[in-house]
Structures are given as structure tokens and as C-alpha cells.
Amino acid sequence: MMGEVVIAYGSQVETMVRQLIESTGAMDRLGPDDSVMIKPNLVASRKDWIGVDTDPRVIEALVKSLKDRGVHRITVGDGSGMGNSATKAFEYCGYRDLATRYGLRLVDLEKDEFIKKPVTIEGPFKNLEIARTVVECDFFISVPVMKAHHETLITCSLKNLKGTMPRSMKTAFHSVNLHRAIAQLNSILLPDLIIVDGLQGDLHSETGHDPVAMDRIILGTNPVEVDSVVADMLGYAPRDIRHIAFSADPGLGTCDLKKITIRSLNRPSARKRFSPPSHYSKRFPCYISAEGACCTCMGNFIFALERLKEQGLLSERLSFFIGQNSKIPANKKALTVAVGQCASKQDGADLRIDECPPTAGNIYQCVSSIVAGSDR
């Protein structure tokens, strides 16, 4: 399987997952006594989760395939983004019902015990902590969503592993070189199987509200190679995604598409290729500094900016600072807004939205008020 990425197109989820598994023999080595850990991407715990969280139909299809092989020790777990909860996401996304129907164990990985493991490649960390449930399983399946990310441009299987760490360490990733940190994480944790949920994904933000129908599911075993194929599908050269390049260079996998066998089980009903969306810094007529911002803060922030832009409330005289490493210049010439607790610790902002995380609604209300006040 190394060096092969297999794609099924369509909307018949169970059929697609079964065809991918059967055509590749991806589960052939599993025995009935093996323990299986399935890690979806449950970054958001809210009702409008489509395009952000892993579709439960993909998990259900995987579970059925495992049960057909006599595997019954199945755990589904993740750790959500800042301000969210995997426990709540289980409810919103229908995972709780799945667990009841199929006898699954659900684990909020942020409540798990953690095992410290030394990294094997260069980067900001010497050790990383990984949830015991993931480390000790016999077979680890990663089920990411194919979507955009404000800082890494795309997020898929490489970045999906962040959910296996404690919240403090996930937060620490955003205070250092995130791209190298992701590569370090993948140097110590390798899934046995990757199933990418490419049914719907938001192509503007990892926690956005605008899912795009992509009608595909992708299978592979090497996250560098899977993500390289996904990057190409989303209009990026794989090496333009820095965490892919930093993972490929020390030999965790190849990002050279010519060296990856890409096999399609069928043809899409309509040929879909996607253009890279405009980066958030180019979509809005204001200054934005977002170094070290977590995905939940950024998702809410970008959604608020979209609403402010619709109302004509953004301009070049507005500057926004969000994240652990954003800096407010001493010679500022614009109205400055510090968004979130991390940015609000700095001096010099005209407006501080001191929440963790700030909601899109509150960002919108606070900024619209200060803009209206400055126009008087």
C-alpha cells in the first residue's frame, strides 16, 4: 500500500468506503481480538458542523466493515478545538447514537491519560504527549476532513493528529513554528489507515460555515502522500503546504506526485477541481496580524469579518490583532482591535475583546460599535 492513494467518487458513503477497503486489502491483517482506535476530526461542537467535522456516515461505514471482520473492540475518540468539546460534538454529530447502535466506546481524548514520546526530527519540541488510548491500540485509523486552514492553507491527515494531544500542547503548537511541530508529531505517530472524508469541506476556514460538495473519499496509509494528493486537488503544489514539505524532507513520505500511485475506483459525475481560495489576509480591506492564533479563534474571527464586510464596516483604517504572537506596533495609525485573551494582554489596542474564545457575534457587535462611534 505504501505509495498508493485510492479515491472513490460519489455520495453513496457506505458503498464507497467498502469498495476502498476491499480493493486495497487495508484491513486484511486485522484479527477479532485486535483493538481499533478511530480518530475523526471533531474540531467544532455545534449544530452546523457539516464541512467542519467528520461525517458520521463515514465512521459508520468503517465500523460496519470492522464488524464484518469480527472486530468488536472499537473506540472512537478525538480532542476538539479551543472552546469546543469532543463530548459535545459526539452529541451534535450523531456519534452518541452510533455508539449505542454498534457498541462503540467513545473517548474525549482531552480527558485521557497521556504518554510522553520523544520526537525523531528537528523542530520546536523534544517530546510530545499522546493520548494513551491511541498509543496502546492495535490498529489506528485516522479519518480527517479535507478542508482549508487559515494558517496551514489545508488541513487533512497530517494535522488531524493534533487532536491526540492534551489541550495545553495543542495551544503550544500555535506559539512556535506550527508547520515544523506538525511534522514532529507525525514522526512519532503513524496511522495504520487513513480514510479522508472529502464529501463536504469548507474551503475558506477550518471552522467555517460554507461547506463545498466535493463528493469523494480517499484512502491511503502514508499521511504525507495522502495530503500531497489532497493539496493537489485543492489547487496547491504539495511543497507549498509547509507542514507537508517539512514532513517529506526527513523521509516521512514523499510529496512528489510522480512517485505516488494515484488510483481512482470510478469517475466523478462532474469533473471537479478546486482553485485555492483567497487567503483571509487578501479577502478583507483591513490589516490583520494573526501569528499564533488557534483555529477556533480564527474561525470565529473570519466569520465575523465576513459579516462586517457585508455591512461595509471594514476599511484600511482598521487593524486586527489575534493570537499569541501578534504585535501591536507603537506607531499605529489605525483603530486597533485585539481579538481574544492572548492578543488582549498587549497594551495599545483601542478595543479589547477579552474572551477565550471570542464568539463571532461578540466580535461583530464590538467592532461595529467602535466603527460607528469613530464615524460620529
3-state secondary structure 290-307: CCCCCHHHHHHHHHHHHH
Mean pLDDT of 289-302: 85
H or E segment to which residue 106 belongs: strand 105-108
- Lowest-confidence region among 50-54, 85-89, 278-282, 338-342: 278-282
Query: Residue 353 has which C-alpha cell?
Result: 475583546
Mean pLDDT of 177-192: 97
Can you give the pTM of this predicted structure? 0.88
Q: Which whole-number Å values give the CA distances from 10 to 197, 219, 318, 370, in the listed order?
A: 12, 14, 44, 47
- Lowest-confidence region among 19-23, 100-104, 167-171, 208-212: 208-212
What confidence score (pLDDT) does residue 376 get? 46
Mean of all residue pLDDT scores within the chain = 92
Give me the residue label for grid cell 481574544. 340
pLDDT tens for 210-248 read: 889 999 999 999 999 999 999 999 989 999 999 999 999
What confidence score (pLDDT) does residue 302 get? 86
CA separation for the pair 161, 143 (Å, rounded): 10
What confidence score (pLDDT) does residue 1 get? 42
- pLDDT > 70 fraction of the chain, expressed in percent and rounded: 97
Peptide bond into 118 cis (omega under 30): no
135: helix, coil or strand?
A: helix
pLDDT tens for 267-276 read: 887 766 777 7
What confidence score (pLDDT) does residue 374 get? 67
Q: Which amino acid is at 327?
A: K
CA separation for the pair 174, 30 (Å, rounded): 37
Mean pLDDT of 55-74: 97
CA separation for the pair 343, 199 (Å, rounded): 35
Q: Which amino acid is at 82?
A: M
Is the pLDDT at 106 greater than 50, yes or no?
Answer: yes
What confidence score (pLDDT) does residue 271 get? 66
Count of alpha carbons within 13 angstroms of residue 147, beta-carbon side: 34
Nearest to 23 by CA among 58, 74, 65: 65
Mean pLDDT of 110-133: 97
Question: In sequence order, which ranges of 76-166 are alpha helices (DSSP H)?
Answer: 86-92, 95-102, 132-135, 157-160
Highest mean pLDDT among 111-115, 209-213, 323-327: 111-115
Q: Which whole-number Å values give the CA distances from 178 to 30, 60, 71, 300, 368, in the listed order?
A: 34, 32, 36, 20, 32
CA separation for the pair 327, 30 (Å, rounded): 51
CA dihedral 187, 189, 193, 197 (to 10 degrees): -90
User: 323 with 290: CB under 8 angstroms?
Assistant: yes
Query: Residue 88 has which C-alpha cell?
Result: 459535545
What confidence score (pLDDT) does residue 2 get? 52
Q: Which domains does the chain have, with CATH numbers?
A: 4-264 (3.40.50.11440), 280-374 (3.40.50.700)
Count of alpha carbons within 13 angstroms of residue 189, beta-carbon side: 35
Q: Which whole-number Å values give the CA distances from 162 to 130, 186, 364, in the listed order?
A: 9, 9, 29
pLDDT tens for 8-43 read: 999 999 999 999 999 999 999 999 999 999 999 999
- Lowest-confidence region among 108-117, 119-128, 142-151, 276-285: 276-285
Query: Residue 275 has which C-alpha cell?
Result: 482553485
**What's the order of all strands across the beta sheet hosting 35-40?**
105-108, 73-78, 35-40, 139-143, 193-202, 211-220, 4-9, 261-264
H or E segment to which residue 59 belongs: helix 56-68
What confidence score (pLDDT) does residue 63 get? 98
- Lowest-confidence region among 28-32, 108-112, 201-205, 224-228: 201-205
